[in-house]
Amino acid sequence: MTPELILANRANAMRSTGPRTEAGRQRSRMNALRSGSRCATYDRVQIALMECLPAEVRETAAAILTPEELDHPAYRQLIDYWCHVYEFAFSQTIAWRCLRRAFRKRRTKPERSLESRAIKKRTDQIIETNQVINKSL
């Protein structure tokens, strides 16, 4: 490398300072999501969504993220994923309660068959929900 090339490289390096406005800095923070790696905000949102109540998933995300970040596809997918997880867990809990109730009480045969059909229908719904969640991953 010649001394002129070194001086030219240093002069070019002094000119490139990255984004100068706050909006530009916000956009550059999202680059980590676009390239597939995870940024600190993504991890913080994921931890918060794991710890929040099921009914508060969207409110928790809105409290942490800026409106621009809420519109980003990666964050939308994360929020939708946690909504589906909580819905699936809730529906699974209801199905298990129905099963326990059916086996605890002694019923006549026609009543048990009606109940077992209802349980089978609910179990099929849970399986379909689980397949939808797996496809979205």
Q: Considering its fold, how many domains does the chain have in total?
A: 2
Asked if 49 and 29 sit in the same domain, the reply is no
Judge residue 20's burial from the number of C-beta atoms within 10 Å of its C-beta, 0-12 exposed, 13-18 middle, 19 or more buried.
exposed
Contact 33, 42 (CB under 8 A): yes
Radius of gyration of the chain (CA): 26
Asked if 32 and 64 sit in the same domain, the reply is no
Which residue segment(s) compose the domain that 52 sits in?
38-136
At residue 116 the predicted structure's pLDDT band, cuts being 50, 70 and 90, is low
Asked if 68 and 32 sit in the same domain, the reply is no
Percent of the chain with pLDDT over 70: 72
Rounded to two decimals, what is the model's pTM? Answer: 0.48
Asked if 49 and 20 sit in the same domain, the reply is no
Asked if 23 and 51 sit in the same domain, the reply is no
At residue 39 the predicted structure's pLDDT band, cuts being 50, 70 and 90, is confident
What are the pLDDT digits (tens) for 7-36? 888 888 888 777 878 888 877 777 776 654
